[in-house]
Amino acid sequence: MVERPRGTNDWGPQDMAKRRFVESRFIQLAESFGFREVSTPTFESLELFTAKSGLGIVRELYAFKDQGGRDLALRPEFTASILRFYVSSLRSLPKPLKLYTAGNAFRYEEPQKGRYREFYQLNAEIIGGASLPSDAEAVALAIGTMRAIGLKQVKARIGNIGVLRSFLPFSPTDQSIVLHSLDKRNFPMLDAELARLGRKDLSTPLRKLVELSGDASILNDAAKVLGGASTEGLDYLRDLAGFLDDYGVSRSDYTFDMGVVRGLDYYTGMVFEIDSPNLGAEKQVGGGGAYRLSEIFGGEPVAQTGFALGLDRLVMAAEAEGTIEAPRPLDAYVVPVGDTARKKAIQILTSLRAAGLGADIDLIGRGPSKNLDYANAIGARFAVILGERELKQGRATVREMATGVQREVALDDLVDTVRNV
Ligand code: AMP
């Protein structure tokens, strides 16, 4: 028996119904926001992911050489692929481009509940809009998706990495190192790096900044910490909150949090993360923000913003809150009684399917009572029993499985009978 690789999952029919429920809510909402679907390869040139994040990211990737000696990697996320696609082929499309995609991503992580090596993301990107309206639209879609799934417990944290960046007068590489230590809240490392850069004085204000979280009043506190430095990034967040009010996003759905430092290096402005508080350690269901990647891949500078929601965790959150709707049951299970009835039964089955109904048929040749047990077990709404006597009269016996009530109907009326409950 060969086991599946560590950190991967098999999803059975019940799991998949739940996953499709969550995914379809995202797709419906994204389409209603005017986003359109794209698809990019599951593997890319390794370079795509090291271009901005550096070689350090390789140990978090499924990176490999193919038989032609090319360095490739399974995608750890979608944004880099979509921006590569944009720069190579989509630049001439009318802007802004609003794109979504859903699929699997791969990271070489230590597996645990809600953290896998193959996982699924729901991803949306806006390219070439003005920053503020695009950021607001992205956050509204992300929070709106959680609401569309029926989740009540939604806690977004919105920050602005631009504020931190403008406070760090270092080269991009050194900025990344300092931001990384802040992201991990690794203060010894922060202090060591600041000492190396001759700016130990920044340690206290930086620590204060990343601890600030709460309602809009913390933006005033942040301004105080920044002292004379630019507060543009804080004003931006106040304006964003105004836009979110207009979208109908409740202020209780999010807090401002100056400590949101996204792990990937390409974020430049507004950044956010969303938690589903009842998921425990792996409560973060999504994150995103404004970034610069087009330029890195040789495109023109345009505003870019987007987010990814983790499908696996959204499903766990939806299960915990009991919001998942049962899939549509099978409408009819056709039971031919006796071999001569089978040919006619297949024709009737086909006519039910052609009418858009879900219909299945006995494939084993079981007797009628075993077949009714099976119809019950698979949750069929009706069993359509076709005996030779009924067929001769152009009739079928229709049994409503929930009540056990049976009646004979003319074959001409069968579709209508099954369609109307
Ligand atoms: P990130 O780009 O790392 O912020 O990922 C976005 C979302 O994807 C996270 O908030 C998680 O919900 C989900 N996610 C990331 N990594 C994993 C993983 N290894 N397993 C399951 N979900 C993940």
Give the number of the atom of ligand 1 that is nearest the alpha carbon of residue 287: 4
| Per-residue pLDDT at 255 | 97
The conformation of residue 394, written as its DSSP 8-state character, comes to T
Least Cα distance to 159 among 208, 222, 203 occurs for 222
Structure tokens at 347: 């024709």
Q: What is the pLDDT of residue 412?
A: 96
CA-proximal residue: ligand 1, atom 17 (nearest)? 115
Per cent of the chain over pLDDT 90 is 86
Across the chain, mean pLDDT equals: 94
E-strand ranges in 13-164 read: 36-37, 43-45, 63-65, 71-74, 97-106, 118-127, 155-160
Q: pLDDT of 158-210, one tens digit each?
A: 999 999 988 899 998 899 889 989 988 999 999 999 999 999 999 999 999 99
User: What is the structure's pLDDT at 227?
Assistant: 85
pLDDT at residue 310 in the model:
98
Report the pLDDT averaged over residues 44-55: 85
Select the more confidently predicted residue: 51 or 107. 107
Q: What pLDDT is recorded for position 421?
A: 64
Q: Which CATH number fits domain 13-321: 3.30.479.30, 3.30.930.10, 3.40.50.2300, 3.40.640.10?
A: 3.30.930.10
Output the CA 150–ligand 1 centroid distance in Å.
20
Q: Could you give the CA distance from residue 304 to residue 97 in angstroms, rounded to a whole number?
A: 10
Domain 332-416 in the same topology as domain 13-321? no
In the predicted model, what is the mean pLDDT of residues 410-419? Answer: 96
Distance 246 CA to ligand 1 centre (A): 29
Supply the pLDDT for residue 262: 80
CA dist 308 and 105 (Å) reads 11
* 275 three-class SS: strand
Superfamily of domain 332-416: Anticodon-binding domain (3.40.50.800)
Distance 311 CA to ligand 1 centre (A): 9
Q: What is the pLDDT of residues 230-272, one digit of tens each?
A: 789 999 999 999 999 999 999 999 999 999 988 767 888 999 9
The answer to whether residue 338 scores a pLDDT higher than 90 is no
Query: Atom 9, ligand 1: which residue's CA is nearest?
Result: 286
Ligand 1 contacts (CB < 6 A) are 77, 107, 109, 114-116, 119, 121, 284-287, 308, 310, 312-313
Cα of 119 to ligand 1 centre, how many Å?
8
Distance CA 128, CA 304 (A): 6
Expressed in angstroms and rounded, the spacing between residue 285 Cα and the centre of ligand 1 is 7
Q: Whose CA is nearest to atom 15 of ligand 1?
A: 310
Contacts of 56 (CB under 8 A, 6+ apart): none
- Going along 84-117, which residue ranges are E strands? 97-106
Q: In angstroms, rounded to a whole number, what is the distance separating the alpha carbons of residues 342 and 339?
A: 5
pTM, rounded to two decimals: 0.94
- Helix segments in 185-231, DSSP class H: 187-196, 203-211, 217-226
Pairing label, strands 304-310, 267-275: unpaired
Question: Ligand 1 centroid to 316 CA: how many Å?
Answer: 13
Which protein residue has the closest C-alpha to ligand 1 atom 1?
Answer: 287
Of all residues in the chain, what percent carry a pLDDT higher than 70? 99
The pLDDT of residue 339 = 81
Find the mean pLDDT for residues 336-341.
Answer: 90
- Phi–psi pair at 366, nearest 5 degrees: -75, 160
Say whether pLDDT at 54 is over 70: no
pLDDT tens digits, one per residue of 287-324: 999 999 899 899 999 999 999 999 999 999 999 999 99
Q: In what order do the strands lie in the sheet with 63-65?
A: 43-45, 71-74, 63-65
CB burial of residue 118 (10 Å; 0-12, 13-18, 19+): middle
Distance of CA 240 to the CA centre of its chain: 23
- Domain borders along the chain are 13-321, 332-416
Residue 188 is predicted with a pLDDT of 95
DSSP string, 231-246: -HHHHHHHHHHHHHHH
Type of residue found at 412: D
Per-residue pLDDT of 99-120, as tens digits, reads 999 999 999 999 999 999 999 9
